[in-house]
Amino acid sequence: MPQASSISVLVVDDQLTMRALIRNALQQIGFKDIREAPDGEEALKNLLAKPANLVISDFNMPKMDGLALLRAVRSHPPIRQTAFVMLTGRADRELVQRAVQFGVNNYCVKPFTVQGLREKIEQVFGQLT
């Protein structure tokens, strides 16, 4: 079983409040190595400079949205294996379908609970300790 503390995470959201809430939830699950980026463009630069094991990304963001970030990650060989969880709103079924086509590992519907986020991550990595 993987340890949450050994998995590095990049949280991507244009809202500071949402990044703080996601970080808080990840810390409750046991994650320790957590970085943040305010949009897809910054996230891609961040990942290329220092890869992460997991990206948790919002969809609606300026400059580069979550779907464009996903496509960019999957097209850069050094980081194409990065696990990618997309955060979506309730009405974004079409977005989820497109994200699946582009290789998203899972998605989490806002507003999420800590347990809900944990389950989504565990569906990708297996049960976390």
Partner 1 sequence: MTHISPNDDLERATKVHVTQGESHVSTDPNVVMTTVLGSCIAACIRDPQAGVGGMNHFLLPDAGDGRGGDAVRYGAYAMELLINDLLKRGARRERLEAKIFGGAKLFDGLSDVGASNSAFAERFLRDEGIPIVSSSTGGVSARRVEFWPTSGRVRQRLVAVDNAPQDVRRPVPPPMPAASSGDVDLF
Chain residues that interact with partner 1, rule: CB under 8 A: 14-18, 20-21, 24-25, 28, 60, 62, 89, 110-114
* Helix H or strand E segment including 56: strand 54-58
Which is closer to partner 1, CB of 77 or CB of 90? 90
Q: What is the C-alpha to C-alpha distance for residues 29 and 129, in angstroms, rounded to an integer?
A: 9
Phi, psi of 114 (to 5 degrees): -60, -45
Task: Find out whether 48 and 19 touch, Cβ atoms under 8 Å.
Answer: no
Q: What is the C-alpha to C-alpha distance for residues 35 and 33, in angstroms, rounded to an integer?
A: 7
* Residue 44 one-letter amino acid: L
Tokens of residue 32, six digits: 């320790």
Q: How far is the CB of 98 from partner 1 (least distance, A)?
A: 17
Q: Which DSSP state fits 129? A: -
Q: How far is the CB of 81 from partner 1 (least distance, A)?
A: 29
Which is closer to partner 1, CB of 47 or CB of 87? 87
Q: How far is the CB of 25 from partner 1 (least distance, A)?
A: 7
Q: How far is the CB of 83 from partner 1 (least distance, A)?
A: 22
Which is closer to partner 1, CB of 20 or CB of 100? 20
Which is closer to partner 1, CB of 112 or CB of 125? 112
